[in-house]
């Protein structure tokens, strides 16, 4: 009689985790360069009765994986905004080491460095921060990543790609850690100035998924309640017959 309860609990845990993932996707559907996440599930078979053939299946949330589908490009006409057309990644330097991002919303800090929203500098192809001199105003970024100010070349944005993007680990603020992955040159990726890559989260699809998961969670809860009612009824009948 307890098997339905255990099965229901395993399903509830998996659904709750999936709801968290979908909620995070929805919360970031307007975050530039964000990549949505998905869940991988697995059915674990366990012995559930006296016979070896009596088995029950539990739901296990095995892992999350990132959807690396590119987001759409939004024009901003801001010369400090760039988007990537291709599978490349921009590199920024953080206190924890290099990180990789598709968020190209740059700004100049007090030292003239091109930095992201977190204040981390974007790196050039020599893996050094890109510094725009204070006396320069008009900045241009070519499709090859060449950064110039007032028609004078400053540096070239470092753009890399990865053989297997799934090896990248999200670390927050649309930054990814390469972990054991090796960054490779990305000559086929174009830099587009004045545009920003939007989140790849499809708002309508995610909202529909959220409603479906909520209904599933409620259905499992009702099933567990019904199972508990049956268990209590059986115990009461046994007590009366005794």
At residue 93, the pLDDT reads: 98
pTM attached to this predicted model: 0.80
Residue pLDDT, tens place only, 127-149:
999 999 999 989 999 999 999 99
Model confidence at 102, pLDDT cuts 50, 70, 90, reads very high
Q: What is the DSSP code (8-state) at residue 157?
A: B
Same domain, 205 and 110: no
For residues 41 and 111, membership in a common domain is answered with no
**Section 50-67 average pLDDT:** 63
- Say yes or no: 51 and 79 in one domain: no
Residue 2, pLDDT above cutoff 70? no
The verdict on 141 and 165 lying in the same domain is: yes
Say yes or no: 82 and 172 in one domain: yes
Say if residue 211's pLDDT is above 80: yes
The predicted structure's pLDDT at residue 219: 79
Q: Are residues 93 and 154 in the same domain?
A: yes
Handedness of CA 176, 177, 180, 186 (dihedral sign): positive
Asked if residue 121 and residue 34 are part of one domain, the reply reads: no
pLDDT > 70 in the chain, percent: 81
Confidence (pLDDT) at 235? 65
Measured between alpha carbons, how far is residue 149 from residues 64, 78, 139, 154 in Å? 42, 15, 4, 7
Please tell me the distance from the alpha carbon of residue 128 to that of residue 158, in angstroms, as a whole number. Answer: 9
In this structure, are 84 and 187 located in the same domain?
yes
Q: What is the pLDDT of residues 7-44, one digit of tens each?
A: 777 778 888 888 999 999 999 999 999 999 998 765 54
More confident residue, 170 or 223: 170
Tokens 């598709």 appear where? 102
Residues 152 and 173 in one domain: yes
Same domain, 78 and 193: yes
Number of domains observed in the structure of the chain: 2
Question: Please, which residues bridge with residue 55 across strands?
Answer: 47
Contacts of 135 (CB under 8 A, 6+ apart): none
Planar angle of CA 140, 145, 151, nearest 5 degrees: 30
DSSP 3-state percent helix, strand, coil across the chain (nearest 5):
30, 35, 35
Q: What proportion of the chain, given as a percentage, has pLDDT over 90?
A: 63
With a cut of 60, say whether residue 111 has pLDDT above it: yes
Q: Indicate whether 230 pLDDT > 50.
A: yes
- The better pLDDT of the pair 232, 122 is held by 122
14/129 same-domain check: no
The domain in which residue 55 lies consists of 3-69+201-241
- Return d(Cα 219, Cα 175) in angstroms, integer: 37
Q: Which helix (H) or strand (E) holds 146?
A: strand 146-149
Average pLDDT, the chain: 86
Based on the domain organization, do 140 and 183 belong to the same domain? yes
């Amino acid at each position: 009689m307890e098997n339905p309860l255990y099965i229901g609990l395993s399903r509830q845990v998996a659904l709750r985790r999936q709801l968290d993932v979908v909620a995070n996707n929805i919360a970031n559907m307007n975050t530039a360069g964000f990549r949505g996440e998905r869940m991988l599930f697995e059915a674990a078979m366990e012995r559930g009765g006296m016979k070896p053939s009596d088995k029950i299946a539990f739901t296990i949330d095995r892992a999350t994986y990132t959807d690396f589908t590119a987001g759409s490009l939004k024009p901003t006409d801001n010369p400090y905004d760039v988007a990537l057309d291709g599978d490349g990644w921009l590199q920024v330097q953080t206190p924890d080491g290099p990180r990789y991002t598709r968020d190209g919303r740059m700004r100049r800090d007090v030292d003239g460095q091109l930095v992201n929203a977190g204040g981390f500098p974007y790196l050039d192809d020599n893996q050094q921060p890109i510094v725009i001199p204070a006396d320069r105003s008009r900045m241009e970024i070519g499709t090859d990543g060449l950064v110039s100010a007032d028609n004078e070349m400053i540096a070239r944005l470092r753009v890399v790609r990865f053989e297997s993007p799934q090896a990248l680990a999200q670390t927050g603020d649309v930054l990814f850690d390469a972990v054991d992955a090796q960054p490779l040159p990305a000559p086929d990726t174009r830099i587009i100035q004045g545009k920003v890559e939007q989140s790849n989260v499809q708002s309508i699809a995610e909202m529909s998924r959220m409603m479906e998961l909520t209904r599933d969670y409620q259905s499992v809860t009702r099933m567990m309640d019904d199972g508990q009612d049956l268990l209590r009824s059986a115990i009461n009948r046994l007590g009366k017959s005794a």
